[in-house]
Amino acid sequence: MTFDEIKQLDDTYVMHTYGRFPVAFDHGKGATLFDVNGKSYIDLTSGIGVNCLGHDNPKLVDALTEQAHKLMHVSNLYYNEPCARAARLLCEKSGMKRVFFGNSGAEANEGLIKIARKYSYDKYGEGRAKIVTLVNSFHGRTVTTLKATGQDQFHKYFYPFTEGFDYAVPDDLDDLKAKCTDDVCAVLMELIQGESGVHLLDPAYVKAAAAFCRERDILFLVDEVQTGIGRTGALFSYQKYGVEPDAISMAKGLAGGLPVGGFAVNGKLQDVLGPGAHGSTFGGNPMSMTAACVVLSEVTKPEFLRAVEEKGEYLMEKIRGIGSPEIAEVRGMGLMIGIALRDKEKRAAFVNRLLENGVIVLTAGADVIRLLPPLVITREEMDTAVEVMKKVF
């Protein structure tokens, strides 16, 4: 099909919930994508932080091809080896004790919310179910995770939302303490706020918040959906921050491109959800879990994580080096990078010009261009992208 044919079909039959760019991708290799007309693009998005091992990764494709021939799905009523192996890898490399697998980030956060509430209910009874999240957070688009998201713009239309959330100002420990009233069972935060603009929390704040929660038996939960799976140069961002959450959610990069989500918990929470308390039809399916095993084996290698760190530093320095007056700040950790613009009105034009010139990027917040390239991006691909940025900015 030509691009116009695809677009017409999509516009006719698919709900218009996304503002799509006028491109249909056909295939990719590493951090390079090709559209249906054969034009190539440097991919600085990896989906939205999903294709961490790049496109057409041979290890991933081979493992999935083999698994597809063997078995694509069995229910969670039975054991399957890839699921057990992926869970072991996650626990061994994170220090967590047990994992639950689902299908998406929102669902992973729903799991955190459920386990936090049940932990508290089991121990303290009713009336201690509130969860404090941060202003400008993003936790998903289900009716509950929209409410967990600390941005008023997400609290519209879909009433009634799930009760039991309050919002603390990021990096303000006094505000967090004030919001942690006696009815609070957990605090949930992204350590780098992704959707709202790539805002890195202050490590001193994160450490103090974790310690405060521990003292009060308030669970400290970290949303690692975007920051996890090697993105920041550690398997999970909390490892960079030097804190030990009670539980974390993950999704995006975990299966390198297949749908997956999950949450991992420490010893305190490992037995809170027993038989019948939680479940998912597709969760832990052999295809996503085979992919997760490949991804986790790769991204937990120390040299792989070091390379992510180095690439991140390289790319940020190069973008700063453009010296464009349009750029107010370049910030990030590993390959999670935000380019804050001086004039947010120009952002759409920049993004479109980058696309026309063969570089695709994401946005975040009101004034940020966000980069989440495949973790396997090469120097050459980064250099090409920066040359285009130089021209566009």
Measured from the CB atom, is 144 or 290 closer to ligand PLP? 144
Q: Rounded to the nearest whole angstrom, what is the least distance from the CB of residue 122 to ligand PLP in the complex? A: 26
| Region from 134-142, 200-208, 232-240, 315-323 binding ligand PLP, contact rule CB under 6 A | 134-142
Note whether 251 binds ligand PLP by CB under 6 A.
Answer: yes
Cα–Cα dist 145/190, whole Å: 13
Q: Rounded to the nearest whole angstrom, what is the least distance from the CB of residue 7 to ligand PLP in the complex? A: 24
Measured from the CB atom, is 225 or 264 closer to ligand PLP? 225
Note whether 288 binds ligand PLP by CB under 6 A.
Answer: no
Measured from the CB atom, is 194 or 257 closer to ligand PLP? 194
Check: CB of residue 132 under 8 Å from CB of residue 187: yes
Q: Rounded to the nearest whole angstrom, what is the least distance from the CB of residue 67 to ligand PLP in the complex? A: 22
Note whether 194 binds ligand PLP by CB under 6 A.
Answer: yes
Cα–Cα dist 64/291, whole Å: 7
Q: Which of 43, 190, 298, 381 binds ligand PLP (CB under 6 A)?
A: 190
The secondary structure of residue 252, as a DSSP letter, is G
Q: Rounded to the nearest whole angstrom, what is the least distance from the CB of residue 266 to ligand PLP in the complex? A: 20
Note whether 104 binds ligand PLP by CB under 6 A.
Answer: yes
Cα–Cα dist 75/69, whole Å: 17
Note whether 340 binds ligand PLP by CB under 6 A.
Answer: no
Closest-by-Cβ residue to ligand PLP is 105
Q: Which residues are within 8 A (CB) of 274 and not within 5 positions of it... i.e. 6 or more apart?
A: none
Q: Which of 28, 54, 102, 105 binds ligand PLP (CB under 6 A)?
A: 105
Please state, as a whole number, how many other Cβ atoms lie within 10 Å of the Cβ of residue 201. Answer: 18
Cα–Cα dist 256/51, whole Å: 5
Tokens of 304: 């792989």
Note whether 231 binds ligand PLP by CB under 6 A.
Answer: no
Note whether 229 binds ligand PLP by CB under 6 A.
Answer: no
What b/e string do you get for 139-166 counting C-beta neighbours within 10 Å, with b at 16 or more?
Answer: bbebebbbbbbbbeebeeeeeebeebbb
Q: Rounded to the nearest whole angstrom, what is the least distance from the CB of residue 23 to ligand PLP in the complex? A: 21
Q: Which of 100, 138, 165, 241 binds ligand PLP (CB under 6 A)?
A: 138
Q: Which of 102, 140, 257, 286 binds ligand PLP (CB under 6 A)?
A: 140
Q: Rounded to the nearest whole angstrom, what is the least distance from the CB of residue 141 to ligand PLP in the complex? A: 6
The secondary structure of residue 55, as a DSSP letter, is B
Check: CB of residue 132 under 8 Å from CB of residue 186: yes
Note whether 96 binds ligand PLP by CB under 6 A.
Answer: no
Q: Which residues are within 8 A (CB) of 73 and not within 5 positions of it... i.e. 6 or more apart?
A: 282, 285, 286, 287
Q: Rounded to the nearest whole angstrom, what is the least distance from the CB of residue 80 to ligand PLP in the complex? A: 22
Return the C-alpha torsion angle 20, 191, 296, 33, nearest 10: 20
| Region from 154-162, 178-186, 222-230, 337-345 binding ligand PLP, contact rule CB under 6 A | 222-230
How many residues belong to the site for ligand PLP (CB under 6 A)? 15
Which phi-psi region, left, alpha or beta, contains residue 83 (left: φ > 0; alpha: ψ -120 to 50)? alpha
Note whether 52 binds ligand PLP by CB under 6 A.
Answer: no
Cα–Cα dist 10/391, whole Å: 33
Q: Which residues bind ligand PLP (CB under 6 A)?
A: 104-106, 109, 138-140, 190, 194-195, 223, 225-226, 251-252
